Amino acid sequence: MSTDRIVGIDLGTTNSLVAFMQGESPVVIPGEDGLNLVPSVVALDARDQIIVGNAARKYLIETPKRAIYSIKRLMGRGLEDIRDELKLFPFQLAEDLQTGEVLRIKLGEKTFTPPEISAFILRQLKRNAERFFNAPVTKAVITVPAYFNDAQRQATKDAGRIAGLEVLRLVNEPTAASLAYGLDKKQNGIVAVYDLGGGTFDVSILKLHDGIFEVIATNGDTHLGGDDIDNLLIKVAIDDILGDANLDVSRNGEAVARIRKAVIEAKIALSSQLETTLDIELPEGKRYQREITREQFEHLIKPIIDRTVGPCKQALKDAGLKPQQIDEVVLVGGSTRIPKVRALVEELFQRKPHADLNPDEVVALGAAVQANILGGGSEATENMLLLDVTPLSVGIEVAGGVTDKIILRNSTIPASATQYYTTQIDGQANVAIHVLQGEREMAKDCRSLARFDLKGIPPMTAGLPRIEVKFLIDANGILHVSAREQRSGKESEIEVQPSYGLTDDQVESMILDSFDYAEEDFRQRQVIEARNEAETILAALEKGKKTPAWGNLTSDEKKKIAKLEKALIEVKGEDDHSAIRKAIDFLNQGTMRLAELMMDTAVSTVLKGKSMDEADMGEGSETGHPVARADFE
Amino acid sequence: MENVESNTSMMANAEATATCWSCGTMRAVHFCSACGKVQPPEPVDYFTFFGLSRRLNLDAVLLEREFYELSRKLHPDLCARADKREQEWSLEQSSLLNDAYRTLKDPIKRTEYLLRLEGVELEEQSKAATEKARTTGEVKKQVVPPDLLEEVFELNMQLEELRAQKKLGEDDPALIEEIGKQKLELEEKYESLSEELKAYWNDWDRLADSANEESRLKVRDKMVDLLNRRSYIRNLVRDVNEVLEN
């Protein structure tokens, strides 16, 4: 059972989480720092070690060139997609980047693709889960924004593979959230999920029917979220500073990072307060201070949050529903804490939205529910089944550069379409197919997914071959294409050139590269194990001090033990497992006599030479050991 | 929607006499009725997939229930731990199920699909025409349904006029109102076509098993004609919207 544990992962723009189904309810697995949220920040420390999460955050300010956040915005994207992003985010691209190549981001002197950086985050989550279960974790369900296109989904799946995770399913975030909600209230009806996160916006409309979660329509914007609010506030502050202090900080990475931190804090404060102060230390000993009221804030962000209205209306229209027909509205994502956003949702759907579950955690919890379903289900998830849709139409380019849509958006997945092709000239052996994703009429306005080259068509007169090409979108929302020449029955060979994304070979080599880090994982695990052992012996010592045996030790012996104890406590916080082991051994040696004294005389001969932690045995299978009796003496 | 078929469950129709690859007992078409394993898909039309005969009247509620039931048997989520082969079949079977459901639940798509099964190349014809228009650069000519001729002629004149006005940066409220009124009429006509279509469904279903090939063809052609008229009106309304919104 435990070997086949499947975890649910929310790989977010701002924060990431890992959750699993504990008995009948999903729970988030905390990190070593005890926190549920792992900030999606990756940094390279002075020794070129990868640091992830809370520990990496300080690098954003200290060494901005060695830290990165919001990498999700770059997943599955090309150079030309992110021109606007680059103006707003301190992403540094590799200098030797070629057009058409998968993006590579500079982190210190090294470069990584977005899937590799995401893999560092996933690896941290995997580690957290392994620490929690004390067992390896290799399978996961990962959530993606519902409006993610094929390339963005593929990039997420690649990230999972690089991190050593078999991605059993990609689940759309709003749908996952509805699963978490649906678990408590098994009821039928129409639910709208409004999900405004750090970098992405999704809206999904679902029909709940006896455990079936059927998505009817989905819409969104993969570049709309809390980040955009932050960037706007940063811009306002930078302009202000230039005006007031005549100081241009826009190119000062550290100053911008400070401003960013301060505006985020102000944004969060304004969800519960009516006003707050921005107070930022600037270079040249200057200071930027400014009062900001909620009213001003709401006025500033209106154009951003208003961008969620169009997708909501389109989703309703696609679902063929009026706002009054929605039974419940659910809020997901940290940005839905903003009162103005809640007011907007209430107005749009004419209904007070639900936010019973923590909007930061609900997606991960839903992913854990889906993981449980995939793992065979349990009593809690019995009869639960998710029927999701593809957010964007898939089409092929036909004469005149026009898109011919073959699978329409909001089709339940898996979905398929079959097209027939023939040749234009005698003996033609290849046919090229250009596959697109999007709603626009012209191919150039849609997103290019891939160019397929059908090869090895048997030589025939023009127009005679009949090549059947099957397009299939799987339950992850990822497209697969296969082809067959019908007259010869020959399976055509397809050469795929993904427009954006890594080839299989590239992913394989990244998995190999990641073994360097796997070694790092192994070291970390050794540290964790040594630490656990240190805890055990220290706890046993505490217990020993309360026994009469402690009083029988000489003061020298007690002093020596205290010294060794202190040494172990100091070293256990460090990342050096052999040092921890050494300190454990010393403490064991030093407490040998205490252990002996603690033992009942009748059995002390048998246990002679046993160390402190072995002698404690107050728990587990060895309860009833003489030492337990010694406690009562 | 009334169900012309008898009240027997569709599931009963879906029984088949093949054997399960896994346990060898008799199975339903898509999954084994004894052990539940997903079976390799067979190339069938959408009606057959649901165990339905080729009738145009169908009970939407029953179809939905059947869709949910089959989803619970075939969806890949339920085969995540099965062997690779069964996972593959589950993917194909459930995509077929979804494609079939999507087509059959929509009255127009269902009619078009059935007509295609009957050998009418609705989509291909319009596609071919579109292709030709694109390659030759000519405007695609659509045959104006005779009963709409007069209206369409007038509406096109008015649209031309409005376009010209808009180019000059002015617009005539009276003209916009007049066009809006015509648009409304077209939309009403569009809606009424759905009712008309349902009358043909009844004719078609009644004749489905009859040997009277000639009557069947007559109904078929009427439906083709109606669908053409329908798409003509739809394009017209789209044009009107474009001019009004720009």
Bridge partners of A214, per DSSP, are A207, A387
- In whole angstroms, what is the distance from residue B195 CA to residue B205 CA? 16
Q: Compute the nearest-CA separation of A164 from chain B (Å).
A: 19
CATH number of the domain enclosing A231: 3.90.640.10
Which of A305, A329, A362 lies at the terminal end of a domain, its last residue?
A305
DSSP conformational letter for A284: G
Q: What is the rounded average pLDDT for all residues in chain A?
A: 85
pLDDT of residue A126: 95
pLDDT at B16 over 60: no
CATH number, domain of B32, equals 1.10.287.110
Contact list, B75 vs chain A (CB under 8 Å): 385, 387, 475
User: How many CB pairs below 8 Å do chains A and B form together?
Assistant: 67
Can you spell out the DSSP letters for A8-49?
Answer: EEEE-SSEEEEEEEETTEEEEPP-TTS-S-EESEEEE-TTS-
* Per-chain mean pLDDT for chain B: 78
Q: Are A184 and A329 members of one domain?
A: yes
Reading the block at residue A207, the tokens are 């029909």
Distance CA A526, CA A534 (A): 12
Q: Are residues B144 and B224 in the same domain?
A: yes
**Chain B residues close to A395, C-beta within 8 Å:** none
- Shortest distance between the Cα of B94 and any Cα of chain A, in A, equals 6
**What CA–CA distance (Å, rounded) separates A563 from B218?**
102
Query: Do A576 and A551 share a structural domain?
Result: yes
Radius of gyration (Cα) for chain A, nearest Å?
29
- Write the CATH number for A78: 3.30.420.40
For residue B156, the model assigns a pLDDT of 82
A562 — contact with chain B (CB < 8 Å)?
A: no
Q: What is the pLDDT of residues B158-202, one digit of tens each?
A: 888 888 887 787 777 888 888 888 888 888 888 888 888 888 898
Check: CB of residue A457 under 8 Å from CB of residue A484. no
What's the distance, Cα to Cα, between the start and end of chain A in Å?
43
Span A517-532, pLDDT tens digits: 555 666 666 777 788 8
Q: A185 and A162 in one domain?
A: yes
Residue corresponding to tokens 């997609």: A81
Comparing C-alpha atoms, which of A18, A56, A64 is closest to residue A40?
A: A56
Verify that B230 and B180 share a domain, yes or no: yes
| Structural domain for A128, as ranges | 2-224+306-387
Q: Who has greater pLDDT, B84 or A602?
A: B84
Summarised one tens digit per residue, pLDDT across range A566-598 is: 999 988 888 788 888 888 888 888 888 888 888
Q: What are phi and psi of A354, to 5 degrees?
A: -85, 140
pLDDT at position A514 over 80: no
Residue to substitute from B95, B96, B238, interface A, most A β-carbons within 10 A:
B95
Which domain-ending residue is among A305, A326, A346? A305
Whether B72 sits inside 8 A of A385 (CB atoms) is yes
The mean pLDDT value for A298-309 works out to: 95
Q: Tell me how many degrees the CA angle A303-A305-A311 measures, rounded to the nearest 5.
A: 110
Q: Is A374 at the interface with chain B, CB within 8 A?
A: yes
C-beta separation of A236 from A208 below 8 A: no
Least confident of A217-231, A469-483, B148-162: B148-162
Rounded to two decimals, what is the model's pTM? 0.79
Q: Count of CB atoms within 10 A of residue B88's CB?
A: 16
Query: Does residue B118 sit within a domain?
Result: no
Alpha-carbon gap, residue B100 to B110, rounded angstroms: 9
Contact A474, B75 (CB under 8 A): no
A257-280 residue pLDDT tens: 899 999 999 999 999 999 999 998
Residue contact A387–B75, C-beta within 8 A: yes
Q: Provide the H-helix boundaries in A495-623.
A: 504-545, 548-551, 555-572, 577-590, 592-598, 601-607, 612-616
CB atoms within 10 A of CB B180: 12
Give the residue on B whose Cα is nearest the Cα of A420.
Answer: B124
* Separation CA A52–CA B51 (nearest Å): 55
Q: Residue A181: pLDDT above 80?
A: yes
The predicted model gives A203-210 an average pLDDT of 93
* Residue B165 and residue B212 share a domain: yes
Residue of B61, B92, B99 to mutate, testing the A interface (most A Cβ within 10 Å of its Cβ): B99
Nearest by CB: A414 against B76, B134, B135: B76
Structure tokens, B199: 């009358």
Question: A617: pLDDT confidence band, cut at 50, 70 and 90?
Answer: very low
The one-letter amino acid code at A22 reads Q
Same domain, B237 and B147: yes
Task: Say what the pLDDT of residue B6 is.
Answer: 35
The alpha-carbon gap from A24 to the nearest alpha carbon of chain B, in Å, equals 19
Q: Give the single-character DSSP code of A566.
A: H
Number of domains in chain A: 4
What are the structure tokens assigned to B69, written together? 């039931």
Clarify whether residues A480 and A515 are in a common domain.
no
Picking from B87, B105, B123, the residue at the C-terminal end of a domain is B105
Sheet holding A402-407, edge to edge: A402-407, A394-398, A431-437, A447-455, A493-498
DSSP reduced 3-state for B208: coil
Q: Quick one: pLDDT at residue A601?
A: 43
Count up the domains in chain B and report the number.
Answer: 2
Angle (deg, nearest 10), helices A309-319 and A339-349: 30
Residues A32-51 pLDDT 10s: 888 999 999 999 988 888 99
The one-character DSSP state at B31 is B
Q: Model confidence over A532-562: pLDDT tens digits? A: 888 888 888 888 888 888 888 888 889 999 9
Tell whether B235 and B144 lie within a shared domain.
yes
Tokens, residue A39: 């900030």
Going by C-alpha positions, the residue among B125, B162, B136, B133 that lies closest to residue B239 is B162
Residues A145 and A118 in one domain: yes
Instruction: Copy the structure tokens of residue A100.
Output: 């058409």
Q: State yes or no: pLDDT of A621 exceeds 50.
A: no
Alpha-carbon distance A411 to A229, whole Å? 33
Q: Using an 8 Å CB-CB cutoff, list chain A residues near B131.
A: 398-399
Please indicate, yes or no, whether residues A368 and A432 belong to a single structural domain of this protein.
no
- The CATH number of residue A446's host domain is 2.60.34.10
pLDDT of residue A629: 30
Could you give the CA distance from residue B34 to residue B23 in angstroms, rounded to a whole number? Answer: 8
Residue range of the domain that includes B226: 140-245
Strands A415-421 and A467-473: antiparallel
Is A140's Cβ below 8 Å from some Cβ in B?
no
Could you identify the residue written with the tokens 């497992």? A577
**Is B125 inside a domain boundary?**
no
pLDDT digits (tens, 9 = 90+) for A68-109: 999 999 999 888 888 877 877 888 888 888 877 889 999 988
Catalytic center residues of A:
10, 72, 173, 195
- Nearest chain B residue to A169 by CA distance is B77
d(CA B158, CA B164): 10
Phi/psi region, residue A434 (left: phi>0; alpha: psi -120 to 50; beta: rest), is beta
Confidence class of residue A618 from pLDDT cuts 50, 70 and 90? very low
